[in-house]
Every structure is written in C-alpha cells, then in structure tokens.
Structure 1
Amino acid sequence: MIADVLRLIECESPSRDLAALAECAELVAGLGERLLGAAPERIPIDGRTHLRWRFPGGGPRVLLLGHYDTVWPIGSLATHPATVRDGVLRGPGCVDMKAGLVMAMHAVAQLPDRAGVELLITADEEIGSPTSRALIEQDATGCAAALVLEAAADDRGALKTARKGIAGYTVDVYGRAAHAGLDPERGVNATVEVAHQILAIAGLGNPALGTTVTPTVLSGGTAANTVPARAKLLVDVRVPDEAEAARVDRAMTTGKTVLSGVRLEVSGGVNRPPMSPSASESLHRRAIAVAGRLGQPAPAGVAVGGGSDGNFTAALGVPTLDGLGAIGGGAHADDEHVLTATMPGRVSLVAGLIADLRSDV
C-alpha cells in the first residue's frame, strides 16, 4: 500500500490542471485494474475523467467515494517530497486523499464477494465537485450506504459523523472613479464600501451554533491616485444546518450599501448541504461493532467543519459515513502526513463494514 500511495503522490494532480489530472487518472485506473482485476469505466465530463468500478449483484448496494485531485500546485514535490520515515508518510495530497484511494481499493480487493459494491473516484472534489456532483447523486440514489474514504478526523482514527454545509459568495462593489487629488468628491469609493461590507458580513457568524462567515479574498482599485470604482470580496460560509444556511443567504443577498451611489452585486450560494449526524448514526454503530469483532478500539465520531462529497449523499437521505480513510493529519498544510502502521487495520475495518452491510437481507 505504501508503494502505491507514493506512486500516486508523485503524480501531481491539482484540481484545475486538466493535463495533470488526465495523467493521474490513468495511474489510478491502472492501480485499480491491478488490485481489482477490472478496468474502470472512464466518465469524461468537461475535460475531467471520473473513474467508476461497478460489481453487479443483488442485495444492498454500497458506494465508496474518493477523489484524486488535490489542492497542491505542480512543483510542490520539490519542497514536499514523497517520503516515508519512522512510520510517517508525507507528500502533497497524501492524507487528502491519495492514501484513502489506495486503501479503498485494497478494502474492496479483500472482499470474497464484491457483488453490489461500487467505487467512484472523482477529479474535482477540492473545488466543490462541479462536474461530478450529479454523477455522485445519481450513483448514490438507492444505495444502502455511502462510505467516504476521506481522512480520519484525528490521529486516533475518529470518523466524521457530521459535516457543516458550505456556501461561497462573491460580493462585487461598483463605485465611481475620480482623481484622488484633483476632485475626490466626484468619486464613490468602492474600497471604503467594501470595508463596511466586510464588517457587516463577518458579523453574520454565530459561534454558539457553529456558523462561520469569513471574508477571505479581497481586491479593489486600479491606481494609487484614483478613487476606486471597483472592489471584490470572496466570502466562505460554514453552517451546521439548513436553517442557518437560509439565514445567512438572506442576509448576504439583501445587504444594504452604506455609501450613496454604490451598487452591490452578490452571487453564489450553498455548494454543499449540511451532513446531519442522523445520516451517519446507524453506520457509526455498525462500524463500532465491526471494529469490536476485529479487536480494534471503537472509533469515535466527531462533527467537522470541512465538506466532502458525503454532504451530497447524506442530503439525499442515503446513510453516509465519512472519515474512513487514512489516519494522520495536516490536510492542505505543510505537515500533511499519514501514519502508515494504521493503514492495514483501517482497510480491514472498511472491508468488514462493507461485508456487514451486504449481509443484510
């Protein structure tokens, strides 16, 4: 497994580099063909290739989800090489989630009967799954369970039993340009207006409920001696439930300007619906029981702020359990890593959970 993960890490695959994604797709396809004895169905959508293995059969269907795109740009290996030292595997995208892909394949390969199992590996999760969402929702419909091989919630292997919903907004501010020295009074300063908007937007968060509203990327102005006619703000929103999503959306889309003569345009909205704890409750109990039979500690369940493709399956009413992949930490960060000694046990847990689900009549 370690060798397979290192090969995948060394094939860099940032979400927006279509050529790099195409190369990685072929590597993932070849790896799956070797481990599973079957070539995947290649599903090209808008220049990205999603990979699907389906093993037909009756009874409960189980969907495994993963992605091979990463947040790391080409060239990251120069500063973050793929290495294994003292039981710690490192490299860009190792925990999120190239180790999880390898573990998913090895788990399915362990099954004596793969009937009813589907493995779907997508190419755009890190940018919100714009081309794969419909495919995920289509394949999840009618499944007994969706198992997401994203990384565990912590280095003790906690499962992700709830996820916040995610929304993103772009706030475009239109003012009026003027010379900053000769006649500034003729201008309408978009940068000043966006400063007012930032304070108002940041105030929409509700820490008690777990709602975060974070102004992130800001741009504005054209020259040092010109009253800015344009400014733009990006906003990241994380919400625990649909009610909070609706509240924040209303506030974002009905915001008032402070300066006279300014115009606002707000675009965006909810990208991933919240994953409620109820979506994972039954599967978490099963995972604990399977772990007990394997002699493993009972995996805890925690709620997390990040989103995944499990948000989509949970919103359909499909029982969904997330965080079944690699145990480690540092996703998207310099210390991204996987604890290699935990990989075999985790693979056995996933395989055991699939078999348990398939045993239902």
Structure 2
Amino acid sequence: MDIISLRQSAEASLPQMLDWLRRMVEINSFTTNTEGVNQLGALTAECFAELGFRSESVPSDDPTHGSHLFLSRGPSDKKPIVLVTHLDTVFPPEEEVQNDFRWLPEGNRIYGPGTVDIKGGTTLIWLMLRLLRESSPDLFESTHWMIAANSAEEVIGADFARKTTARCPQGAHAVLVFEGGPHEKDGWHLVTARKGRAEYRITSHGRAAHAGSNHALGINAVVELSRILPAVSALTNPQKNLTLNLASMHGGTVLNRVPHEAVAELEMRAFEPAALAEAGEALESFTQRTAAGAEINVECIGRTQAWPGGRDTDALYRAWEKAATQMGISTVAEQRGGLSDANYLCTLGPTIDGLGPSGGNAHCSERSADGSKLPEYVEKDSFVTKAVLNVLAVNVIAAQQV
C-alpha cells in the first residue's frame, strides 16, 4: 500500500473526523448519565452509518447505565474483527461546568472530556475504516466488522463482555481495542498484556463497650485490624509484578464507644493468574481469632481476569511492528497495570490494545494557573500517523481471512 497516498487521504478526512470528535466531546457521557450516554450512542451510530454499519442498541443490565452499542457490516458468516471502544467518561456534568472543561484546541493539543479516553479512539476507528474503504475496497467489503462500544467501561461493566460474546458465537478473528496509545521517544506504544485484579474485604469483629466505664471489657476492632495490615501490605511482590493496594479503612461509631467492627478494602493486581491466586491464598490465611479475641474475616468481593498476552497477541503485534517499519517509525510492546475491555474480551480471539490516538492526563479535568495541572487532551497530529499504522496492519490481518 502506498503510504504517501494513505497519509494524504487521512489528512483530507481529518477535518471531518475532528468535527465528529467535537460533537462527541460536547455530549456529557458520565457513566451514570444515561441520557448523555445514549445520546452519544445515537451520534456514534450516525457517524458510522455512512460507512454502511447497522446499529444495535442493547440495554445494560444495570439500569443506572446507558445502553451498549454494537455496529456491524459485512458477511456475518465470518468471524468478525471486533473494534472495541466505550461511550462513557469519568466526568460528571457539574465537574465539567465547574472546571470549564470543554472542547478546546490549543496548538497540537485538543483538550476536552473523552478526547483521548476514548472518544478520540472511536473517531480514529472511523478514520481507519474510511481509509480502508478507499484503499482496499474489496477487502473492506469482504470483512465482517463489528464495533463494540461499552456504555460502562469506566466502572468495568461486566455484562458488556457477555453481550459482545453472544454476538460472536464463533469467536473473533481479532479483538482490537482503541484505548489511547502514547507516543514516547522510544516509539508508539501498543498494549500486549494487562494485569488481572482481585478485590478483598477484611473485616474485624470486636466487642463494643463503654469507653470510659468498661473500656477493659471491650475488644477494639480498629486496633486489632490495624495489627495485621502491615503484613497484608507486605504481600506486594515486584519480582512477580504483583501489587497490593490497601485502599480504605473505616471502623467504629462514636468516641465514647470501643469500636466493635472495622473494615479494610484492597485490590491486588498481577499479569499472571497464578501470582494472584497465590497472593489470595496468603491473604485468606489472615482469617483468624486474634489473641485479644477479635474475629478477622477475609473475603474476595470481585475478580477481573488477567490478559497475559501470549503467542496470538505477539503475532498481532508483529503485524503492527512491520507496518511501523514500512512507515519509518517504531513501536513498543507495553504491559499495562490498568484494566480495559481487553481483560474481558481477550478470550474471543487474538487481542491487541492501545490502538487509539496519543494524548495525556486522562481522567483529569483540572487546569491550574501555573500550568502544573492540565486536563485531558489528545494530540491532533497522532490521528493521521496512527490511522495509517492501523490501516497497514489491519489490512494484513483482514486479508488472512479472505
């Protein structure tokens, strides 16, 4: 494929793509703003309709969330190439107003809610598909494409994975996730693995008593819980890429009462499922009756499977690596500790993440006068480079199914 022609085509389509992005950013789509999320879903369906995509809006299992969006075109008897994005952001409407956080171009940066996470990724999918339709029309028409947009990715809406899987009964030819892909000095970063997560609650049951007249009769649940927390925190193991974060602790009621209960909550993350399982067993061993008589209980309250990468992901990455070489740029395979829909959808087929544009400060809406705080932004010039890179690589993997 002629890279110069692809770049020229991408540059020509960039103004229209940026107009779609502006319209999307101007819609508040905070996860629980169901009206906004659904409005964005309708606009996204309109955006892709000109490329021949049929839309399906599917209600979330959680009534406080908007509807998931599935867009598809091409022969349904083939395994789809699933292009993954999401509709929600982390910014409530009042926060956007308070911080005057809105669409704001400044040089090469465009600030605004969702510009990089992930409305910029959604519009990059549009730009990539438009280039594929122009440069490889037969391949574009003969490929089964599915765009899957989660309405609640920022809170990891697990039902989205079930609904996506139900629409891929044969699995997927590839799962391509358009979370942001940073551009650093060492190259364009692509994500080839993500940590899994296990969440735990530790509860200490003591004995209440009057703090003044019967202090000795009480068993202080806060104190007893605090005794074990240093050992719990010490389960972090950098050699195994295992992190344990004690995120919250609370207990007791009023100052004149020996607290009868205290609770701590934490999460653990690791790339290897075995490392999480081993740490979970160690954590559960803290279930005990303390010397003072408190009952310590440990329970797992949630899990997210790891996406450890592997041979299939490595093969996908090589397609992008080869495409980068053709363009005279370089790529970097990155393992990320953060979660994405790749954690849930990687079982459908070979998966790669970080295919979206470059930007920064995701999840931040603040701007300080001295410039030490800047809100979320996307780098405008990254769209063309990333679109061409994705087109070259996707052209190769789509052709493998023809």
Is TM (by shorter chain) over 0.5?
yes
* Counterpart residue number, 2:95: 76
Query: Residue 329 of structure 1: CA displacement?
Result: 1.8
TM-score (norm 1): 0.91
CA contact (8 A) 1:63 1:117 kept: yes
Query: Residue 192 of structure 1: CA displacement?
Result: 1.5
* Counterpart residue number, 1:174: 205
Specify the code of the residue in structure 2 equivalent to 1:11.
I
Structure 1: unaligned runs, 5 residues or longer? none
* Counterpart residue number, 2:379: 339
CA contact (8 A) 1:175 1:228 kept: yes
CA contact (8 A) 1:213 1:237 kept: yes
In structure 2, relative to structure 1, the CA distance for the partners of 1:166 and 1:173 (3 Å cut) is same
Q: Does 1:270 align with 2:303?
A: yes
* Counterpart residue number, 2:30: 14
Name the SS of the counterpart of 2:116 in structure 1.
helix
Structure 1 segments (4+ residues) deviating >6 Å = none
Specify the code of the residue in structure 2 equivalent to 1:65.
V
| Residue among 247, 259, 262 paired with 1:216 | 247
CA contact (8 A) 2:45 2:71 kept: no
How big is each residue's C-alpha offset from its partner over 1:257-314, in whole Å with a ceiling of 9 and x where there is no partner?
4341324252324213233243420011001222334x25122111111111112233
Q: How does 1:35-184 map to 2 (within 5 A)?
A: 35-46=50-61, 47=63, 48-57=66-75, 61-78=80-97, 79=99, 80-112=101-133, 113-114=140-141, 115-139=143-167, 141-155=170-184, 156-184=187-215
How big is each residue's C-alpha offset from its partner over 1:206-227, in whole Å with a ceiling of 9 and x where there is no partner?
0122110001122222112222
In structure 2, relative to structure 1, the CA distance for the partners of 1:202 and 1:153 (3 Å cut) is farther
CA contact (8 A) 1:215 1:234 kept: yes
In structure 2, relative to structure 1, the CA distance for the partners of 1:279 and 1:213 (3 Å cut) is farther
- Rounded Cα–Cα distance in structure 2 between residues aligned with 1:52 and 1:296: 35
Query: Residue 320 of structure 1: CA displacement?
Result: 0.7
| Residue among 388, 391, 397 paired with 1:351 | 391
Percent sequence identity over aligned pairs: 26
In structure 2, relative to structure 1, the CA distance for the partners of 1:32 and 1:179 (3 Å cut) is farther
- Rounded Cα–Cα distance in structure 2 between residues aligned with 1:31 and 1:127: 25
- Corresponding residue pairs, total: 358
Q: Does 1:289 align with 2:322?
A: yes
CA contact (8 A) 2:54 2:73 kept: no
Specify the code of the residue in structure 2 equivalent to 1:151.
G
- Rounded Cα–Cα distance in structure 1 between residues aligned with 2:336 and 2:122: 21
- Rounded Cα–Cα distance in structure 2 between residues aligned with 1:9 and 1:182: 61
In structure 2, relative to structure 1, the CA distance for the partners of 1:234 and 1:32 (3 Å cut) is farther
RMSD: 2.2
In structure 2, relative to structure 1, the CA distance for the partners of 1:233 and 1:151 (3 Å cut) is same
Name the SS of the counterpart of 2:31 in structure 1.
coil
- Rounded Cα–Cα distance in structure 1 between residues aligned with 2:216 and 2:161: 49
